[in-house]
Amino acid sequence: MNSHSRANWAFEAAGTYMPAFEVTATTRSGAAVSTGQKSYTVAVQP
């Protein structure tokens, strides 16, 4: 598919957030692949 995307984030309050993401895909041969769940720490300041 060759796509590129960007995301914007907005937070209602200052603090430390720990979102978790997982990316999955299917290869051309039909095999399922995954990054597994990855967590990130985001510090939001007022």
> pLDDT digits over 1-46, tens only?
567 788 888 999 999 999 999 999 999 999 999 999 999 999 999 8
How far apart (Å, rounded) are the C-alpha atoms in residues 9 and 12? 10
The pLDDT assigned to 1 comes to: 58
The pLDDT assigned to 2 comes to: 66
The pLDDT assigned to 3 comes to: 75
SS3 content of the chain, % helix, strand, coil (to 5): 0, 35, 65
Give 18's contacts (C-beta < 8 A, 6+ positions apart): 39, 40, 41, 42
Q: Is the pTM of this model over 0.75?
A: no
